[in-house]
Amino acid sequence: MRMAAPGKCFLVTGPPGVGKTTLIIRVLETLKISNPNLKVQGFYTSEVREAGERAGFEVVTLDGRKGRLASSSISCSESLKWPSVGKYRVDIASFEALALPELQRNQVKEDTDLFIIDEVGKMELFSSSFFPAVLRVLESNIPVLASIPIPKFGRDIPGVARLRNHPGAKIFTLNTCTRDFVKEQICSQLRDLLQKQ
């Protein structure tokens, strides 16, 4: 299997709620200011709130399409068969319908400068097709900016561990004190990498 070149896989990690998705969006916005023609592909995960409380998550493609990833408020008979993470039921079919086409070989555009994958986590990995598709994106040699969860109780999810140990990966650990520093580090390194392409 071909691997991403060293330094082309940027992984943001940190505890839940620390701002991994926000950081990835801010990096993307900053890069687009200095490079308005930047061609980006992929998706991020956004919280869904109801009455001020987190009720689930949705997947949002970089061209604005949205689909459900997980919900705590859906209770139809079909959702009872869905896998769960905490109080959330994971809608694998909805996730796959939106995220997988973004990752499929025939959909990865040759002229893509940067690929965003937020997140490679437990919910997303319930899809048996997701991780192989992520690996194919890494093989494409397009720079990747992705988020991964921090190991829980010292144990990593196997797919996440494989990404974390990927020879092309650079890990950026986020906490409330390092957000701005990490953003600047990633922006600087990606800017340099994109200028060399």
The answer to whether 150 and 13 are in contact (CB under 8 A) is: yes
Tens of pLDDT, residues 74-109: 767 776 678 788 899 999 999 999 999 988 865 666
Residue 184 backbone dihedrals phi, psi, to 5 degrees: -65, -40
Q: For tokens 């209770």, name the residue.
A: 75
Tens of pLDDT, residues 19-67: 999 999 999 999 999 899 999 999 999 999 989 888 899 999 999 999 9
Tens of pLDDT, residues 108-158: 667 889 999 999 999 999 999 999 999 888 888 789 999 999 988 778 888
The answer to whether 69 and 95 are in contact (CB under 8 A) is: yes
> What crossing angle do the helices spanning 92-103 and 130-139 adopt, rounded to 10°?
10
Residue 115: exposed, middle, or buried by beta-carbon count in 10 A (0-12, 13-18, 19+)?
buried
Q: What is the pTM of this model?
A: 0.90
Question: What tokens does 161 get?
Answer: 């561990």
Q: How many CB atoms lie within 10 A of CB 111?
A: 7
Q: What is the spatial distance between Cα 186 and Cα 87, in angstroms, rounded to a whole number?
A: 33
Q: Can you list the alpha helix ranges (DSSP code H) found in the chain? A: 20-34, 92-103, 130-139, 158-164, 179-196
Q: Work out the pLDDT band at 1, boundaries 50, 70, 90.
A: very low
